[in-house]
């Protein structure tokens, strides 16, 4: 069961499965309409977000430790989703940290340092 960093933003998520010698990255796109339009029903957005968070939860279901990161509030919304809908995964969350938009290598390096895995 790998340690995992989940980068969550308003447009999607990236899942970094980490080991001392390898990084596997999976991307999940959030299918949302333009957030600048005011014609979008808030319940529709929340429904799409639940589906999106469910996809992420399914992709990390075999993980031992989880670090949730991202630039905005989406990471907190995802963590709340885990607490309410997948508590067994919520118990594996070791941190929820704010980080800016970084390269894949930078996110992986933060995860390896956080989980004290060998450097890439």
Q: d(Cα 72, Cα 74) in Å, to the nearest integer? A: 6
Q: d(Cα 63, Cα 23) in Å, to the nearest integer? A: 14
Q: Which domain holds residue 33?
A: 3-114
CATH of the domain at 33: 3.30.420.60
pTM of the model: 0.85
- pLDDT, one tens digit per residue, over 52-102 is 999 999 999 999 999 999 998 999 999 999 999 999 999 999 999 999 888
Burial of 10 (0-12, 13-18, 19+ CB in 10 A): middle
Specify the number of domains making up the chain: 1
The answer to whether residue 103 sits within a structural domain is: yes
The answer to whether residue 119 sits within a structural domain is: no
The answer to whether residue 120 sits within a structural domain is: no
The answer to whether residue 100 sits within a structural domain is: yes
């Amino acid at each position: 069961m790998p340690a995992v960093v989940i980068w969550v933003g308003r447009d999607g998520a990236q899942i970094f499965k980490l080991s001392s010698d390898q990084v596997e990255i999976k991307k999940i796109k959030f299918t949302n309409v333009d957030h600048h339009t005011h014609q979008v029903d808030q319940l529709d957005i929340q429904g799409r977000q639940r589906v999106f968070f469910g996809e992420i939860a399914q992709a990390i279901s075999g993980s031992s430790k989880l670090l949730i990161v991202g630039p905005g509030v989406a990471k907190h919304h995802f963590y709340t989703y885990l607490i309410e809908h997948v508590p067994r995964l919520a118990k594996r969350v070791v941190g929820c940290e704010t980080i800016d938009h970084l390269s894949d290598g930078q996110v992986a390096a933060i995860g390896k340092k956080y989980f004290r895995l060998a450097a890439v």
